[in-house]
Structure 1
Amino acid sequence: MRHHDVLIVGGGNAGVSLAARLLRDGAPDVALVESETVHRYRPLLNYVGAGEAVMASLERAASDVVPDGCTWISDRVVSVDLEPTGEVPGPVVHTGGGPVSCRALVLCTGLEEDWDATPGLAEAYADGWAASTFTIDGVTRVWPALSGRTRGRVLFTVPPEPAPCAATALKPLFMACDHWRRAGVLDDIDVTVVLPRSTPVGDGGTDHILGAAFASYGVAVVRDARVTRVAPHQVRVRTPAGEVELDDVDFAHVVPHYRAPDWVVRSGLSDGSPAGLVDIDPETLRHRAHPAVWSIGDVAAVATPPSGGALRKQVEVLAHNLAAAAAGKDGRELRRYDGYTVMPITTGRHELMLLEVDRTGRRVPTVPFPDLVRPRHSTWLLDRYALPQTYFRRILRGKV
């Protein structure tokens, strides 16, 4: 049986940047399980869906981003055995190619689309009248469907948590509305957005700005709601007042619901929630019942909305805690993650706001000035051009 000191499952932002950070800190043996051969900078998907980027700009070969010194296991996980035996002192991960044991197991799998949660949605994607910037197969269909539209009804949704940076589902809505206004056709398009709660993001000042943007573009807002069923050009939405049928929908940017991989639940690692998130202490990032297991990223129950910015903080905390645990230090010497996360939302094609909050919802801006919640062109430039370069050149190399 193969054995590694630290075994990371998932080769996205969380897994690769953590592996790089551990190796830079001197970890002797780090392995990464990832079956995908293409690595993607997912925040740019929203710009692909707005005609502002192409897929090639966000994709790299996985072999180019796995850090030097890291063992890449190109395989899929089937299950995890958590109870150590005399011969195997730690968890055992079962892959298609066989078992791999480890001292410390880190789960960074991300989330999977839960198509069964919304009957009819997969068929609507296949038929071509629904798609979203959150799915690799559907993102390239979004801008052609939106940019050429001159009339009709268009529906957008923000997915309920957990989801990969759910608030960014507003990006394609606002960028499309800006485009339609500039083209002189916005008044002929009926735009509706379905929000999973009463406000867009839960921050008073930010919600006020977004509410003004909805009103400026004439967007109808359905609050405290979620899509429950999709039929041909028809979307059913559950609201506090009951079920609502939205008919004659020409295009639906409906984001699917998300859940953890099935094997997380089957292996006894989940928190018991419908999404099956990994049951960790949200501050130390250590599993509540299995001290050799840790988790960060979208799949981890960190009690804060997932985002790429959150991962930078989580990687810093977890890298320290893994080293502390290996040295035999007790829980008092572990660092704590405060739940920092960030929500970048465009309010026009070239303007963006940046909300940074901790787990309690308190604003924790990275810089005190200027106020990044105010939509700015400079912040849009940062999000569209500077951050992707920082991601590939520094974050994935464990330098941030």
Structure 2
Amino acid sequence: MEQHEILIVGGGNAGISLAARLLRDGAHDVAVVESEPVHRYRPLLNYVGVGEATMGSLEKPAADVVPEGCTAIADRVVAVDVSGPRVLTAEGRRIQATTLVLCPGLEEDWDDTPGLVESQAAGWGGSTFVVESAPRVWPALRDLQQGRVVFTVPPEPAPCAATALKPLFMACDHWRRSGVLERIEVWLALPTATPLGIPRADELVEEALRSYGVNVIREARVVGLGDRTIRLATPGGERELDELSFAHVVPHYRAPGWIADSDLAGDTPGGLVDVDPLTLRHRRFPAIWSLGDVADVATRPSGGALRKQVDVLAHNLRAADDASMQHYDGYTVMPITLSRRRLMLVEVDREGRSQPSVPFPDLVRPRWSTWRVDRYVLPWVYFRRILRGKV
């Protein structure tokens, strides 16, 4: 049986940046299990979906981002023995760990929305959240001259769900500049009563929605798609939008089955890993830790949240006792474009209190400079700094 001091399941942002940080801090035996051959900076997918980026700008071979000194295991975990802890992989490998860290991310739950796969295969549906679909979204939206379009925000848990507003606003800005917005009926389905649940940010988003003439259906969940038709469950009953020219429907998400259907999840919503949201340690299995989208940390998942979580978890894995552990305050960030070149950055803690990363300027106010950082600076920082454990 293989054995490692620290075994990380998941080679995305969370897993690679944590491995790099641990190695820089002096860890000697760190391994990462990841089956995907390509590593992606996923926030750029929204820009791919509106013609502002290419897939090549956000992808690198997975082997290229593995930090020096880290053991890369190209395989997929299918089960965890919490008493080990040890994992079983798809290729039948059993890997023992002294410390097990789970950060495989969430999976698209295609079965939860009947007709979603068929709508994307037919070409009238798509999502910037889906790797295979993102490049097809902009050609469908760019040349639209009239018709009815719907955008959805997925319910939690979801990877940075609020950024599903990005393609909506950038498409509306494009249609306005092209002189066709008045001929396009735009709908937005929100899973909650307000876009973000942060009063000041909601005020700006609602103002932008009104300026573009977007029709909003609140507290709505997608329950199915038919022939250019979408069905939504709302508190007032089911609603249907038909004769759609395009449907930007983000899939619902779930934790991998080997987590959701195991003792790792407990009674968490969405089958997430049942961790202490402050220390990121599993509530019942002290040798198991988790971070990222799959961890139940009582805040909205985001890449910015991961930077804070990596810092806390890297420290806590070295802590001598509970008293010396650091606490994660639930910091997260929601970057939302309100037009093609203006972006608002909403940074809050677990309680919804403002947690700006810089004292000025006011980053909630939409700015061109913030958009440029989101589009160009952060991808560079991600590949050159974050994945190397330097942030």
Q: TM-score, normalised by structure 2?
A: 0.99
Q: Please state if 1:371 is matched with 2:357.
A: no
Q: Report the Cα distance in structure 1 between the residues aligned to 2:372 and 2:346, rounded to whole angstroms.
A: 16
Out of 194, 199, 202, the residue aligned to residue 204 of structure 1 is: 199
8 Å Cα contact 2:268-2:296 kept in structure 1: no
Secondary structure of the structure 1 residue equivalent to 2:148: strand
Q: Please state if 1:91 is matched with 2:85.
A: yes
Mapping for residues 226-265 of structure 1, pairs under 5 Å = 226-265=221-260
Letter of the 1:190 counterpart: E
Q: Please state if 1:170 is matched with 2:176.
A: no
Q: Report the Cα distance in structure 2 between the residues aligned to 1:75 and 1:196, rounded to whole angstroms.
A: 35
Deviation (angstroms), 1:4: 0.2
Letter of the 1:184 counterpart: G
Deviation (angstroms), 1:275: 1.6
2:371 aligns with 380
Out of 277, 290, 301, the residue aligned to residue 295 of structure 1 is: 290
8 Å Cα contact 2:299-2:332 kept in structure 1: yes
Out of 386, 389, 393, the residue aligned to residue 380 of structure 2 is: 389
Q: Report the Cα distance in structure 1 between the residues aligned to 2:390 and 2:78, rounded to whole angstroms.
A: 32
Aligned residues: 390
2:137 aligns with 142
Letter of the 1:93 counterpart: V
Structure 2 unaligned segments of length 5 or more: list them. Answer: none
8 Å Cα contact 2:8-2:102 kept in structure 1: yes
Letter of the 1:65 counterpart: V
Deviation (angstroms), 1:273: 3.8
Out of 311, 328, 335, the residue aligned to residue 337 of structure 1 is: 328
Letter of the 1:68 counterpart: E
Deviation (angstroms), 1:353: 0.2
Secondary structure of the structure 2 residue equivalent to 1:275: helix
Q: Report the Cα distance in structure 2 between the residues aligned to 1:394 and 1:20, rounded to whole angstroms.
A: 10
Letter of the 1:373 counterpart: V
Q: Report the Cα distance in structure 2 between the residues aligned to 1:35 and 1:318, rounded to whole angstroms.
A: 23
Letter of the 2:281 counterpart: R
Q: Report the Cα distance in structure 2 between the residues aligned to 1:371 and 1:265, rounded to whole angstroms.
A: 40
Q: Please state if 1:38 is matched with 2:29.
A: no
1:180 aligns with 175
Identical amino acids, percent of aligned pairs: 66
8 Å Cα contact 1:280-1:288 kept in structure 2: yes
Q: Report the Cα distance in structure 1 between the residues aligned to 2:355 and 2:267, rounded to whole angstroms.
A: 30
Mapping for residues 95-114 of structure 1, pairs under 5 Å = 95-97=89-91, 98-114=93-109
Letter of the 1:370 counterpart: P
Q: Report the Cα distance in structure 2 between the residues aligned to 1:205 and 1:96, rounded to whole angstroms.
A: 47
2:110 aligns with 115
Q: Report the Cα distance in structure 2 between the residues aligned to 1:31 and 1:72, rounded to whole angstroms.
A: 6
Deviation (angstroms), 1:274: 5.0
Deviation (angstroms), 1:188: 0.3
Q: What do the CA deviations read for 1:124-153 (whole angstroms, capped 9, x no partner)?
A: 111111110000011011000000100000
8 Å Cα contact 1:271-1:301 kept in structure 2: no
Letter of the 2:383 counterpart: F
Secondary structure of the structure 2 residue equivalent to 1:153: strand
Secondary structure of the structure 2 residue equivalent to 1:192: strand
Secondary structure of the structure 2 residue equivalent to 1:170: helix
Q: What do the CA deviations read for 1:293-332 (whole angstroms, capped 9, x no partner)?
A: 00000000010000000000000000001111xxxx2211
Letter of the 2:2 counterpart: R
Deviation (angstroms), 1:119: 1.2
Deviation (angstroms), 1:116: 1.1
Q: Report the Cα distance in structure 2 between the residues aligned to 1:311 and 1:354, rounded to whole angstroms.
A: 16
Letter of the 1:398 counterpart: G
Letter of the 1:268 counterpart: D
8 Å Cα contact 1:79-1:266 kept in structure 2: no
Q: Report the Cα distance in structure 1 between the residues aligned to 2:78 and 2:171, rounded to whole angstroms.
A: 41
Q: What do the CA deviations read for 1:139-185 (whole angstroms, capped 9, x no partner)?
A: 01100000010000000000001100000000000000000000000
Q: Please state if 1:151 is matched with 2:146.
A: yes
Q: Report the Cα distance in structure 1 between the residues aligned to 2:294 and 2:137, rounded to whole angstroms.
A: 26
Q: What do the CA deviations read for 1:265-305 (whole angstroms, capped 9, x no partner)?
A: 23321133452100000000000110110000000001000
Q: Report the Cα distance in structure 1 between the residues aligned to 2:156 and 2:307, rounded to whole angstroms.
A: 20
Secondary structure of the structure 2 residue equivalent to 1:163: coil
Secondary structure of the structure 1 residue equivalent to 2:124: coil
2:353 aligns with 362
8 Å Cα contact 2:8-2:101 kept in structure 1: yes
Q: Report the Cα distance in structure 1 between the residues aligned to 2:356 and 2:156, rounded to whole angstroms.
A: 23
Letter of the 2:329 counterpart: D
8 Å Cα contact 2:343-2:368 kept in structure 1: yes
Structure 1 unaligned segments of length 5 or more: list them. Answer: 84-89
| More displaced stretch, 57-66 vs 273-282 | 273-282
Q: Which portions of structure 1, spanning 4 or more consecutive aligned residues, are displaced by more than 4 angstroms?
A: none
Deviation (angstroms), 1:250: 1.2
Q: CA RMSD in A?
A: 0.8
